[in-house]
Amino acid sequence: MILDGKCPKGPIQTSWDRHRFDLKLVNPANKRKYKVLVVGTGLAGGAAAATLGELGYNVEAFCYQDSARRAHSIAAQGGINAAKNYPNDGDSIYRLFYDTIKGGDFRAREADVWRLAQVSNNIIDQCVAQGVPFARDYAGYLDNRSFGGAQVSRTFYARGQTGQQLLLGAYSALSRQVKAGTVKLFARTEMLDLVVVDGEAKGITVRDLITGEIRTHVGDAVVLCTGGYVNVFYLSTNAMGCSVTANWRAHKKGAFFANPCYTQIHPTCIPQHGEHQSKLTLMSESLRNDGRCWAPKKKGDNRHPNDIPEDERDYYLERKYPSFGNLAPRDIASRAAKEQCDDGRGVGPGGRGVNLDFSDAIKRVGEHTIRERYGNLFEMYEKITDENAYKQPMRMYPAPHYSMGGLWVDYNCESNVPGLFVLGEANFSVHGANRLGASALMQGLADGYFVIPYTIANYLAKTKPGTVKADHPECKKSVEDVKAYNNRLLNINGKRTVSEFHRELGKIMWENVGMARSEESLKDAIKRIPALREEFWKNVKVTGKGEELNQQLENAGRVADFLEFGELMAKDALHRNESCGGHFRVEHQMPDGEAKRDDENYCYVGAWEFKGVDKEPELHKEPLTFENVHLAVRSYK
């Protein structure tokens, strides 16, 4: 099937404005008759639930954490992009649009990206009005810093906790709506199934994580804001509870999964230190404003980094990409770091690390200024590694961080299942094959505050409210199915724990479907994942009961989904016989090692249809056309 993204035609500059006018509206008195279910309360979900509630819709919001303030958006450190051009350094909506398309290695839809760039400015205004304490200069104006993949300073920030502050802004707007009675919040509640009635999304089945109760919530539309899937690698920068579960269960009910092989491996994370490790910690890309990446020129150089003289250091990003230098985009910076380590010039235990050095910046602007800019990051680094980065370089290594792929959506953020909308990291829409730094926060809030309020009305206006009730046979069936699935997990009573399986899957994924992929490695993964899945269903041990707080059962369900999803990810990576952005196939590279795209054959979105576990998924394509940006070889040299 050829998919249609339903993008507006005509000049891109006015595309969103024209589209907004063409969308149907729901009259204010009718809005409260519609119930909208919003799953996830990160930037996308929190903003969507608050805004839809404010508009007068009857909203129910769900999160697995104990509070809507804890979603992993909170961990974003560096900042949020907007095309304000306050520094007068040449930014514009067009430039943000261009940088994002190019940064994504020409694998995103032009119209969606244009809209994102256009509403980026509204986001900053909105957050300021909410009381988000963005950094200001001494005159009281908003301050900016630079991020990778851009030659302008367009990133707004709140110390090293921008995600936290933006999320707390959305959370406060949400809290206001809870008080107003327009939003009902269900914390410690996890979505485990999508209820589809006559082909349309009409509800979700959830598990109350305290009591274990399985129940269905019905609504007139469902909005998934359930984040990304890089915990499939086991070790990632995501929170422990982040999973593909909500998206995967929706996928199993018919929603197409687009570009699952596009995963972002973030260049600056604290290297792994042991087998027992449960997660990896990211150090903000903003550090590359002042930190210089280098590796020793000599192989196996074990000297303390401070003892290696200047002329024996290879500032490899500055050498390879003189015009962007240390601010090369993430996929490129990650591969460059891996290249140094593969060459035997890595630092730290196991040689899997490169230096991020602040000594020049400290000499230039003083330790005080560096402390003011990144104090909390240096503190966090010291807690984890016991090393003082004011005195010696940080050690960094790439780690799984973000997923550009996600459920397929059209220009309205609606999936191929009518009534099912997908926002933020959970969808695939704007980042192409590589996301630029400080763009995730932008997308989450753009979708939640400024896109879904318009586009959902277009669907609801065509729908009669309240047609499906909780006693509908599809609801009952969904509850029974989820109960049966959980009971199956509880009754295996095997010998290996859930996290043992997760670690093993993660190892397969990292080694075969990680930063460098080959036909051989992918075929190996496609062979090994089903075998591991089979063992899981025979030999996993989940203690306790279903009708109680049971963290083992929660994790077992999530890992079971990763064991299915990982296979799709490998299949997508195998089918995409080109390199682009974060998807690097070793067979396809330029003589200098850069990713080599194949626009003739792969300039499309690959969206997969679920056909059953252990059955071949079906690929549907949405061709990508570039009318405003010329398809070109991406260069940061």
Partner 1 sequence: MNLTLHVWRQSGPNQPGKLEQYDAKNVSPDQSFLEMLDEVNEELIKEGKDPIVFDHDCREGICGMCSQVINGVPHGGQERTTVCQLHMRNFNDGDTIYIEPWRALAFPIVKDLIVDRSGLEKIMQAGGYTSCHTGGVADGNAILVPKVDADYAMDAAECIGCGACVAACPNGSAMLYTSAKVAQLAALPQGKAEAAQRVCAMTDAMQEAGFGNCSNHYECQAACPKGINVKFIARLNREYQKSLFK
Q: Which residues are catalytic?
A: 330
Q: Which of 448, 374, 396 is nearest to 170 (CA)?
A: 448
Q: Using the rule CB under 8 A, which residue among 1, 25, 384, 590 binds partner 1?
A: 384
Quick one: 67 or 635, whose CB is closer to partner 1?
67
How far is residue 108's CA from residue 60's CA, in Å, rounded to a whole number? 31
629 scored as a contact of partner 1 (CB under 8 A): no
Give the DSSP H/E element, type plus range, for residue 622.
Answer: strand 618-623
**Structural tokens at position 463:** 């729908």
Quick one: 511 or 548, whose CB is closer to partner 1?
548
411-470 positions binding partner 1, by CB under 8 A: 449-450, 453
350 scored as a contact of partner 1 (CB under 8 A): no
370 scored as a contact of partner 1 (CB under 8 A): no
Quick one: 48 or 261, whose CB is closer to partner 1?
48
> Considering only 93-101, 381-389, 392-400, 511-519, which stretch makes contact with partner 1 by CB under 8 A?
381-389
Quick one: DSSP state of residue 585? Answer: B
84-113 positions binding partner 1, by CB under 8 A: 84, 86
Q: Using the rule CB under 8 A, which residue among 96, 168, 513, 568 binds partner 1?
A: 168
> Considering only 14-22, 129-137, 391-399, 411-419, which stretch makes contact with partner 1 by CB under 8 A?
129-137
Q: Supply the minimum distance, in Å, between the C-beta of residue 234 and partner 1.
A: 13
**497 bridge partner residues:** 541
Do 221 and 421 meet the contact criterion of CB atoms below 8 Å apart? Answer: yes
Q: Supply the minimum distance, in Å, between the C-beta of residue 548 and partner 1.
A: 8
134-163 positions binding partner 1, by CB under 8 A: 134-142, 158-159, 161
564-603 positions binding partner 1, by CB under 8 A: none
At a CB cut-off of 8 Å and minimum separation 6, what does 563 contact?
A: 501, 505, 529, 532, 533, 536
Q: Using the rule CB under 8 A, which residue among 541, 546, 593, 626 binds partner 1?
A: 541
**Structural tokens at position 449:** 């505050």
9-48 positions binding partner 1, by CB under 8 A: 47
210-229 positions binding partner 1, by CB under 8 A: 210
How far is residue 111's CA from residue 92's CA, in Å, rounded to a whole number? 16
Q: Using the rule CB under 8 A, which residue among 20, 32, 33, 176 binds partner 1?
A: 176
280-309 positions binding partner 1, by CB under 8 A: 281-282
Q: Supply the minimum distance, in Å, between the C-beta of residue 236 and partner 1.
A: 11
Give the three-class secondary structure for 314. strand
Q: Which of 376, 457, 404 is nearest to 22 (CA)?
A: 457
> Considering only 336-344, 504-512, 544-552, 565-573, which stretch makes contact with partner 1 by CB under 8 A?
544-552
Quick one: 553 or 573, whose CB is closer to partner 1?
553
How far is residue 101's CA from residue 458's CA, in Å, rounded to a whole number? 27
Q: Using the rule CB under 8 A, which residue among 30, 92, 122, 589 binds partner 1?
A: 122
Report how far apart, in Å, the C-alpha atoms of 444 and of each of 226, 407, 456 are: 11, 15, 16
480-519 positions binding partner 1, by CB under 8 A: 495, 497, 499-500
Give the three-class secondary structure for 138. coil
CA 636 to chain centre: 24
Quick one: DSSP state of residue 608? Answer: E
Q: Which of 186, 153, 217 is nearest to 437 (CA)?
A: 153
